Structure 1
Amino acid sequence: MTWHNSGLKLNSYPLALAIAEEWSAQDEHLQLGQMRLTGLAFTAQDNPLEQSPDTITRKILDYVDGDTVLYFNTESSKLQRYQEEQWTPLIRNVNADLGTNVRPSESILDCNVASKADKEKIERWVRQHNFPALIGLQYATESVKSFVIAYNALRHHIEAEQAVDAATLEQRTQAETWGSVEWSHGLEREELFTRLSAACLFVYFNSNNFTTKTL
């Protein structure tokens, strides 16, 4: 049963199997916070925030202007070098796939990283997804705080682990220079990896035709 006490209906048999596996892995005390696919499915069906495709699309597009990947740090030569090596290919993939001309900037005051035409092309790509897939796309984008990174992971240009590396580049560079609390950063990384992986699976399973299954 979902949060609204209705039977969970899924349009993807593989997703139903994956969610069933999440439940079978639980002991007598359910850890719903660790059941990412279940949470996404409940959210897509119950829609507790009363979102619409329009509101979700706008929230995703909000990340384009302030996308982490589109603003390079010039104060650290090491970080800037890493950004150019790891982020530039991701930007290039978006431009090649969507026909955009998104470009990185070295100033957070620069509001022209994506033109109006670029945003319209990105919006068209976002809107082609059905509502459950939009929920997953929003979750992926918000998890890594970047549409560019989420897009590359969802389009299989990079693995989820590489996406997490890109999303935590600044943190990892600082740790490389100053050291880090290994267990703390390890937990944060695993949490992000889990969230992004679940989001990518959820989008994929809801974007392909499978047998409808009611749990």
Structure 2
Amino acid sequence: MLASKLKIFFPPTISLRKMATVKRFYRKTNILSNGDRFEITLDQRKLKTPKGNVFEVTSKPLALAVAMEWESQEDTINRSNMHLTALCSTLLDNPHQHSRMDIVNYISNYLETDTVLFQSNDTEELFKLQTEKWDPIIQWFCDKYQVDITKTTSISPPIIPPPTKDILTRHFASYDYPALIGFMYGIDILKSVILMMAVCERLINVQSAISLTRLEEEFQISHWGRVEWSHDLSKNDLQARLSAAVLFIHLNTSSATSKPKMESS
């Protein structure tokens, strides 16, 4: 009798490793509260990460969003479109053993390869488009964070003075580890620190950010034509991934800053 009751409170676990192409095997999803953490269940079975860790998050809205990803699966579990699940699993498993400062330094150094800082003056029309679309975002970034950056129009890298890198390092070091995971994921999608910060600060929306990072590709397509289904699929996938990254940052940052304050004695 006791054993059967324990199954209700400590349900079996389900590992993500075995779910790449399996058919949906559960009827409903749910979340369980475990202190200040929330776990995902498929029917009465707890979800686990690829490394076998219990799948748990500190934000209830994030737990609900992950549960919705699982609920939206149809006949076959398609993990390739479960971006919040992937982000949470990366956070919990830390497969590459990254520390907070590893990610902070990665982001700061990424600025040297930022897409919008590499502009091509080989084609006048493209250069004019890059100047028109990218330069205002670069200027906003410099004004917002009080940094100096000089873009490049050659094979030489852009000029990122040491004080600029120091300012960015301090800025990103102020974030908790979960938010940094989201930033790294979004920056890799956009190939741009500047565009990612513009999205997170709501200067531009997700759709605009994807269009800006694909500016040269879209320019080439306008001249050479497109394969409609292929380009649209790619664009929609990038938008979905970036949306997940921004939501992941927001929900983790909110959960870290919305704790009730202690009353002063």
TM over 0.5: yes
- What is the deviation of 1:47? 0.7
* Structure holding more helix per residue: 1
Distance in 2 separating the partners of 1:148 and 1:168: 14
Corresponding residue for 1:179? 225
Percent sequence identity over aligned pairs = 32
Look up the SS of the partner of 2:105 in the other structure: helix
Name the larger-Rg structure. 2
* AA matched with 1:109: S
Corresponding residue for 1:129? 175
1:20 to 67, 87, 104: 67
Normalising by the residue count of structure 2, what TM-score does the alignment of the two structures yield?
A: 0.76
Corresponding residue for 1:49? 96
2:187 is the alignment partner of 1:141: yes
Report if the CA contact (8 A) 1:91-1:103 is conserved. no
2:60 is the alignment partner of 1:3: no
1:67 to 87, 93, 114: 114
2:83 is the alignment partner of 1:36: yes
Look up the SS of the partner of 1:134 in the other structure: helix
- What is the deviation of 1:163? 0.2
Distance in 2 separating the partners of 1:176 and 1:182: 12
* Structure holding more strand per residue: 2
Look up the SS of the partner of 1:87 in the other structure: helix
Distance in 1 separating the partners of 2:193 and 2:64: 28
- What is the deviation of 1:16? 1.1
**Backbone CA RMSD of aligned residues:** 1.6
The Cα offsets for residues 167-199 of structure 1, whole Å up to 9 and x where unpaired, read as: 000000011112121211111111111111111
Corresponding residue for 1:83? 130
The Cα offsets for residues 18-75 of structure 1, whole Å up to 9 and x where unpaired, read as: 1111010012421112100010011101111111112112222232111110111101
Report if the CA contact (8 A) 1:61-1:123 is conserved. yes
- What is the deviation of 1:7? 2.1
Distance in 2 separating the partners of 1:78 and 1:188: 25
Distance in 2 separating the partners of 1:96 and 1:14: 33
The Cα offsets for residues 116-145 of structure 1, whole Å up to 9 and x where unpaired, read as: 111111111111111111111000001111
Distance in 1 separating the partners of 2:109 and 2:80: 26
- What is the deviation of 1:14? 1.2
Q: Which has the higher contact order (CA 8 A, sep 6+)?
A: 1
1:105 to 152, 162, 169: 152
- What is the deviation of 1:6? 2.5
Distance in 1 separating the partners of 2:143 and 2:57: 33
Distance in 1 separating the partners of 2:205 and 2:65: 19
* AA matched with 1:178: W
Kindly tell me the number of residue pairs found equivalent between the two proteins: 211
Give 4+ residue runs of structure 1 displaced > 4 Å after superposition.
none
Corresponding residue for 2:207? 161
